Amino acid sequence: MTAYTNNIDYKRAAGLFYSRDEAEAAVRGLKDAGFDQDRISVIARDADKVDGVETTEEVGNKADEGAAAGAVTGGALGGITGLLVGLGALAIPGVGPILLAGAEATAIATTLAGGAIGAATGGLVGALIGLGIPEEKAKVYSDRVAGGSFLVMVTGTEAEVKRAEAIMQRCGVEEFGIYNAPAQTAQSAPRAEVADTDNVKLYEERLVAEKERQKAGEVSVGKTVETETARVAVPIEKERVVIERTTPTNGKVVAPGTVDFSGKEVARMDIYEESADINKEAFVREEVKVHKEVERETVEAQETLRREELDIDVDGNPTIHRNR
């Protein structure tokens, strides 16, 4: 058997979810986005165990017990057990009974159960450090798992973990971080002798477009008051009295006794005039309707995609039939 490596720089994304529903939504979103289940791991405290149980003795890895392990983990991991493989249960000093799902989490359980990472390196903290997570962050993850949070980890290329980040952020991830995976996790599995029937998976990269809605700006539509001086001309009428005095030219004589020289005769006349009463009234000058319209445009991106092709290494002269 010959081991071989590739030059891909693998990263590991990790973050905490407060509830099982959030963690399950994240795992389901990752799988729907094309992430293989062997790249996703979940670690959670076993809520079915009674608090206060002595946890310094190892319970043992149950990753190989199949359906039995599924029954054990059903309480804490719920629907996640149907999404991932490698279910196990383990007691870790300082954390308590924990449940693990996923290939890497199962590897942690196997390592801890085997004593390769003992209490000297901090139990779960040491195991996480071995996965490339900084010690300070590993302590945060360990403490939060002990408090009931769910730790979800995803391994892949830098572009893949960026896609994973967007999915996990939508599901409410906390304490999220992207870390360099140790060199040994970037190595491909050794080629093994295949049985009479075996399957080899060939992977390819595809462009997955996601849209993010963000605020581009803000428009405030209001009113300001402008002033100007207006003039108006209003014609008004005023009455005035005109007194004209004339001397008769015919010298007409008034009959005796018809003239009253008492001086009481008075001519009376009412005089009127108009005044201007100017007031201001408000009228609707213009109506402004404010609404939004959506303009659509196409954004193009270009990426280099990789695809795995089958590489058949023939030793001798075996007969090979290709169905494709």
Calculate what percentage of the chain has a pLDDT beyond 70. Answer: 70
Mean pLDDT within 68-72: 35
For residue 311, being part of any structural domain is answered with no
Domain assignment present for residue 294? The answer is no
Which range has the top average pLDDT, 91-100, 223-232, 248-257? 223-232
What is the pLDDT averaged over residues 111-122?
A: 51
- How would you write 151-213 as a 3-class SS string? EEEEEECHHHHHHHHHHHHHCCCEEEEEEECCHHHHECCCCCCCCCCCCCCCCECCCCCCCCC
pLDDT category at 112 given cuts 50, 70, 90 is low
Q: At residue 165, does pLDDT exceed 80?
A: yes
Q: Look at residue 16 and tell me whether its pLDDT is greater than 90.
A: yes
- Would residue 125 count as lying in a domain? yes
pTM of the model: 0.48
Position with higher pLDDT, 89 vs 57: 89
**pLDDT score, position 105:** 73
Residue 213 in any domain: the answer is no
Q: Looking at the domain assignment, is residue 255 inside a domain?
A: no
CA nearest neighbour of 40 among 156, 194, 201: 156
The reported pLDDT for the residue numbered 91 is 66
Question: How many angstroms separate the Cα of 231 from the Cα of each of 4, 96, 234, 257, 259?
Answer: 95, 89, 10, 62, 57
Q: DSSP secondary-structure letter at 94?
A: T
d(CA 34, CA 227): 65
123 domain residue, yes or no: yes
Q: Which residues contact 245 (CB under 8 A, 6 or more apart)?
A: none
pLDDT at 81: 54
Specify the higher pLDDT residue, 317 or 49.
317
Nearest to 16 by CA among 172, 131, 178: 172
Which parts of the chain are beta strand (E)? 11-17, 40-45, 88-92, 96-101, 150-156, 174-180
For residue 170, count other CB atoms closer than 10 A to its CB: 13
| Assigned domain for 244 exists | no
* Per-residue model confidence (pLDDT) at position 17: 92
pLDDT of residue 77: 59
The SS3 of residue 129 is helix
> What is the residue range of 29's domain?
11-184
User: How far apart, in whole angstroms, are the C-alpha atoms of residue 276 and residue 231?
Assistant: 13
Contact 103, 119 (CB under 8 A): no
> Is the pLDDT confidence value at 229 over 60?
yes
| Half-sphere CA count of 159, side-chain side, radius 13 A | 11
What pLDDT does 137 receive?
92
What is the pLDDT averaged over residues 16-34? 89
Question: What's the rounded Cα separation, in Å, for the pair 238 and 275?
Answer: 9
Of residues 237 and 193, more confidence is placed in: 237
User: Can you tell me the mean pLDDT for 20-33?
Assistant: 88
Q: Is residue 257 part of a domain?
A: no
Q: Tell me: pLDDT of 215 over 60.
A: yes
Specify the number of domains making up the chain: 1
Mean of per-residue pLDDT scores for the chain: 74
C-alpha to C-alpha distance for 151 and 45, rounded to whole angstroms: 10
